[in-house]
């Protein structure tokens, strides 16, 4: 039985926060310095918004506003959608999909304690892990496994199209070329 992953287990807790009165240039510098794509906007220790790289591009740069004089409160996304730290990944993904967001601040007892992003979810998604493991299993098979597999395409020796190709000595060959190898 698989254990459900709750967002508290994978959320980032080293949050970068700014006040609504912070200018866009300062917020952008914080994002660059910390190699992140957002900062949380807080007032009285309560999250009131989020500003992302996309917000800065769409609401400041594309509109020709000055990043020194434009305040975070004028470009932030607000109100923000938040999540409880004990919801599972599936529920977090549904919330993000429903509200078309890629970041979900995590609040416990009214206090901001973390954030989870789509990248975090992809990093730990059980389905992706299973796909990765299956791919690993396929790529780690020895040559004898592939000899049993039948391929369709062009023979690598004679270029004849065939629906009955087999892997021999690292090459994909038709029956005639395999027979020729056996007589050499």
Answer yes or no: do 115 and 145 share one domain: no
Answer yes or no: do 72 and 103 share one domain: yes
Structure confidence at residue 140 (pLDDT): 52
Number of domains in the chain: 2
Structure confidence at residue 39 (pLDDT): 95
* Cβ atoms 106, 83 nearer than 8 A: yes
Domain that holds residue 81: 7-126
Reported as a pLDDT band with limits 50, 70 and 90, residue 146 is very low
Structure confidence at residue 68 (pLDDT): 95
Find where tokens 């021999």 sit: 168
Beta strands in the chain (DSSP E): 17-18, 38-43, 46-52, 103-108, 111-117, 151-154, 161-168, 171-173
Answer yes or no: do 108 and 49 share one domain: yes
Domain assignment of residue 2, yes or no: no
Answer yes or no: do 71 and 158 share one domain: no
* Interval 99-128: pLDDT, tens: 888 899 998 888 889 999 888 887 776 555
Structure confidence at residue 40 (pLDDT): 94
Concatenated DSSP letters of 28-44: HHHHHHHT-SEEEEEET
CATH number for position 47: 3.10.580.10
| Total-model pTM | 0.62
Structure confidence at residue 88 (pLDDT): 86
Classify strands 38-43 and 17-18 as parallel, antiparallel or unpaired.
parallel
Q: Is residue 36 scored above 80 in pLDDT?
A: yes
Answer yes or no: do 122 and 145 share one domain: no
Dihedral sign from CA coordinates of 73, 76, 80, 86: negative
Q: Is residue 180 scored above 70 in pLDDT?
A: yes
Structure confidence at residue 1 (pLDDT): 38
Structure confidence at residue 111 (pLDDT): 86
Percent of the chain's residues with pLDDT above 90: 39
Structure confidence at residue 145 (pLDDT): 47
Domain assignment of residue 131, yes or no: no
What is the pLDDT of the chain when averaged over all its residues? 83
* Interval 49-64: pLDDT, tens: 999 999 999 999 999 9
Residue 155 CB coordination number (10 Å): 21
């Amino acid at each position: 039985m698989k254990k459900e992953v709750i967002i508290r287990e994978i959320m980032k807790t080293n949050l970068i926060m700014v006040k609504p009165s912070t200018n866009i240039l300062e917020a952008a510098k914080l994002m660059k310095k910390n190699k992140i794509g957002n900062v949380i906007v807080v007032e009285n220790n309560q999250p009131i918004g989020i500003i992302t790289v996309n917000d800065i591009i769409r609401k400041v740069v594309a509109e020709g506003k000055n990043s020194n004089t434009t305040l975070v409160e004028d470009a932030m996304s607000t109100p923000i959608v938040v999540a409880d730290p004990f919801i599972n990944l599936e529920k977090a993904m549904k919330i993000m999909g429903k509200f078309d967001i890629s970041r979900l601040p995590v609040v416990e007892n009214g206090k901001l304690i973390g954030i989870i992003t789509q990248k975090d979810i992809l990093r730990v998604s059980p389905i992706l892990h299973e796909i990765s493991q299956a791919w690993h299993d396929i790529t780690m098979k020895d040559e004898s496994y592939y000899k049993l597999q039948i391929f369709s395409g062009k023979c690598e020796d004679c270029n004849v199209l065939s629906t009955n190709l087999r892997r021999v000595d690292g090459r994909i060959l038709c029956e005639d070329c395999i027979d020729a190898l056996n007589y050499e």
